Each structure stands twice: as C-alpha cells, then as structure tokens.
Amino acid sequence: MKIRLSDHFTYGRLLRFTFPSVIMLVFTSLYGVVDGFFVSNYAGKTPFAAVNFIMPLLMILGCAGFMFGTGGSALIAKRLGEGKQEKANELFSLIVYTSIVCGVVLAFLGLACIRPAASLMGAKGRLLEDSVRYGRIVLLALPFYVLQFEFQCLFVTAEKPKLGLYVTVVSGVSNMFFDALLVAVFHLGMEGAAIATAFSQFVGGIVPLIYFGRENKSLLRLVRLSGRLDVRSLVRTCTNGSSELMSNISMSLVSMLYNIQLMRYAREDGVAAYGVLMYVSLIFQAVFIGYSVGSAPVIGYHYGAQNHEELNGLLKKSQFLVAVSAVLMFGAGQFLAEPLSYLFVGYDPGLMSLTVRGFRFFSCSFLCSGFAIFGSSFFTALGDGLTSALISFLRTFFFQCLAVLIFPVFWSVDGIWMSIVAAEIMAAGITFLFLAGKRKRYGY
C-alpha cells in the first residue's frame, strides 16, 4: 500500500517510508568506500592518502546539491500540503535548473583552484600530484554530482523514495564495476578510481533528470518556467537549506584541519588512518542522514497543514528511533573496528594498529551524532533555516575545530580522535536546548 505524506505515521509506517532514503544514503556511502578499498589495496598507501586528502575539497563543491535538495524539499512539501501543485512544480523546476548552472560554475572554479588549494593544505611531492590528478577527473562530473545529491532529497518529496533508491543502486553498482575493472584488472590506479566515480555521478544525475523531464506518476515534474524569475523562493530555498550546506562545508573544512593536524602528529599514516575512519563512518552516519532526509518532507507537509498533533508524534517517534539506532551503531563500531580496518590497511601492521585505535575512539561519537543530525533536519523541514544552520555550524565546525586544536596538545594523536566525540556530545546538548525552546513557536 502506497504511503502518502498526508497519512498518519505510526512507527511501522515511518520506518517503511524512510527506509529507502536510509538505504539510498548508505549505498551512496558504500560505493565511496569501494573507491578507497581498491585504491588502498591495488594502488598503495600514498595514493589512498591522496584521495582522502583531496576529497574534502571535492565535497565542498558538490554539497550545493544538498542545499538545493533539502532547502527546496521542505518548501515544495509545504506547498503540496497547502494544495498548490502548480507552484510546487514551478519551484521544483527552478531549483533543478539553477543547480545545473551552479554545478558548471563550481566545476570550472574547482579546476582552477585545486592545485593551489592542495598545496596550501600541506601536500607536497607525490601526494600533491596524486591529489590533483584524482580531483581534476572527478571535477568533470561535478554538475551531475550536484544533481545526484539534490535528487536524493527530491525523490522523497515526489513520493518516489523507492525510485530514488533504485537510481542510487544503479549508480553505485556502476562505480563498483568500473572500480574493479579499471583499478584491479587494468591497473589504472587512482585515475581508474576517479573515472569510475565520475561515471557513477553522471548516472546518478542524468537518470532523474530524464525521469522528471517527462510525464511521470510522481507528485513533481520539470516544467518550463514562465514569467518573472521567482528570486524570492530561490533565496528562501538557499536560506532554508543553508544548514545542510553549512554542515557539509564545515565537515569538509574540518576534515582538512584534521588532515593538517594528522600530518603534524602522525604524518602520512595519520591521514590514511583518518581516511578509513571517514569512509566507514559515512556508512554509519548515513543511517541518521537518510532517516532525516526521508522524514523531512513528512514533517514539512504536516507543518504546512497545521497538523500539530501529528507533528508532535513525528518528533517523539524520531527521537526514539535515533536513540535505538545510536546504541546499535556504537556496538557495531566497537565490534567491527578491527575487521574493517584490516579490510583497508591490513597490509601495513603499524597503520593497522593506528586505525583500530582511532576507530574505537571514533565509534563513541555514534551515541550522540544522530540527535544533532535529525534536529538540524527537523528545523529545516519547519522552514527555520537559521536554527538548523546554527546547529550544523556548531556541530560540524565550531566544536570540532575547537577540540581538534586543543586536545592534541595534551593527548597527541589520541586527542584528535577524542575531539570528534567531544564535539558530538556538545552538539547533542545544544540540539535538545533548541527543541525545548522552540516548542511553543511551532506547536510540536
């Protein structure tokens, strides 16, 4: 039975509706992990470190898609809840067309800046050259990368989360296939991994574009824009999605800072170990992000319909589900620390030991991170982009920067891993304060 945004959501219905988004985000993270696996095991430690070193910069450029997707999703869902179908399609189309132009501009900017940026972060010699080669190939597909991020959110708003999952699976499988073919069989190293990633991003962006450009059975369709450009709605979309943009940019900037600190305290091995943690943590965090993306249109719809009782139920159910998931993921992180580390860097005992120790510290952050991730998304769905952005900024940037600059002074490399945990604890506390303080305003 089809689940609609206007339905009453029990635990079961909420899980069924958000499950495709969770799997979609997990799978997206998983095929990123495959890149790291093939590069590390078939190209070596330095190319693996180079991919992890340059990836934060590529993520900064691509995360504009999350801004358009999450910010636009909430506003589109609100208009659907108000019964304004035509205006919802016009806003949807405006967002997609704007993101394409934005992606092209960002790609050219990235190609021009990638070498000086990598050099500024401290890359030298082979690490610098490998970082630049990988980044330039991936940047060629950046407009499709932006669309891929964007449509992951918009498929849910269109009441087609399963179709979004299928597109993500096809995109991910193509990446895995070409990784195996180009890196393991034809030994093209990092260049092969970059080509595989770029092709998968092309698939993830172009297929949804074709689907929504034709007659379809979803709530949304791309239409020709008529009349004056709705700059106000576009600005609101960007403002409302600024929290997700801030979150992704902040995470990327913080990753750069972590790499700089690790180069100082543990050299290239530290960067490689951090790369493993980031790859694996993306899969764990994708559960929280996927749930937040999947539930946001439901929250936005019922807020637009002024159904405060349902809104309150959605918040309570979500907090319970996040808490249960947090405990399960912490346990899984502790249990899988050694086998997952071995999968990536088992060929180097010293690097393996460093990675396992870091992973055991890092997995403690799973106990708190979900609350801030969902809280930020919750306020985005309510149209409160400022509160959402503040939570994201504090969680992904301010708290982490503060901790990673101070903790290593006292605990060296262990301090770097501990700083992630401390930041998540503080972010969860701030999120609960905002939820309590805004209760009367939004009626949940």
Give 169-215 pLDDT, tens digit per residue. 899 889 889 999 999 999 998 899 899 999 999 999 999 999 999 98
Mean pLDDT, rounded, for 85-96: 92
d(CA 52, CA 57): 10
Tell me the pLDDT of the chain averaged across its residues.
88
pLDDT of residue 243: 65
Say which residue the tokens 């764990």 belong to. 284
The larger pLDDT score, comparing residue 262 to residue 228, is at 262
Residue 266: pLDDT band with limits 50, 70, 90: confident
Lowest mean pLDDT among 106-115, 328-337, 345-354, 417-426: 345-354
Q: What is the pLDDT of residue 59?
A: 84
Which of these ranges, 219-223, 271-275, 398-402, has the smallest mean pLDDT? 271-275
**Which pTM was predicted?**
0.72
Length of the chain in terms of residues written: 444
Three-state secondary structure readout of the chain: CCCCCCCCCCHHHHHHHHHHHHHHHHHHHHHHHHHHHHHHHHCCHHHHHHHHHHHHHHHHHHCHHHHHHHHHHHHHHHHHHCCCHHHHHHHHHHHHHHHHHHHHHHHHHHHHHHHHHHHHCCCCHHHHHHHHHHHHHHHCCHHHHHHHHHHHHHHHHCCCHHHHHHHHHHHHHHHHHHHHHHHHHCCCHHHHHHHHHHHHHHHHHHHHHHHHCCCCCCCCCCCCCCCCCCHHHHHHHHHHCHHHHHHHHHHHHHHHHHHHHHHHHCHHHHHHHHHHHHHHHHHHHHHHHHHHHHHHHHHHHHHHCCCHHHHHHHHHHHHHHHHHHHHHHHHHHHHHHHHHHHHHHCCCHHHHHHHHHHHHHHHHHHHHHHHHHHHHHHHHHCCCHHHHHHHHHHHHHHHHHHHHHHHHHHHHHHHHHHHHHHHHHHHHHHHHHHHHHCHHHHCC
The answer to whether residue 435 scores a pLDDT higher than 80 is: yes
How many Cβ atoms from other residues are within 10 Å of residue 164's Cβ?
26
Mean of pLDDT values over 303-321: 89
Task: Tell me the residue type at 138.
Answer: V
Distances (CA, A) of 398 to 14, 247, 395, 404, 424: 33, 11, 7, 10, 11
- 338-380: per-residue pLDDT in tens? 998 888 888 888 888 999 999 999 899 999 999 999 999 899 8
* pLDDT over 70 percentage in the chain: 98
Q: pLDDT digit string (tens) for 103-159? A: 999 999 999 999 999 888 778 888 899 999 999 999 999 999 999 989 988 998 898
What pLDDT band is residue 255 in, cutting at 50, 70 and 90? confident
pLDDT, greater one: 414 or 24: 414
Judged against a pLDDT cut of 70, whether residue 1 lies above it is answered with no
> Would you state the pLDDT for residue 189?
86
What pLDDT, on the 0 to 100 scale, is given for residue 344? Answer: 83
d(C-alpha 344, C-alpha 47), whole Å: 13
Mean pLDDT computed over 266-282: 82
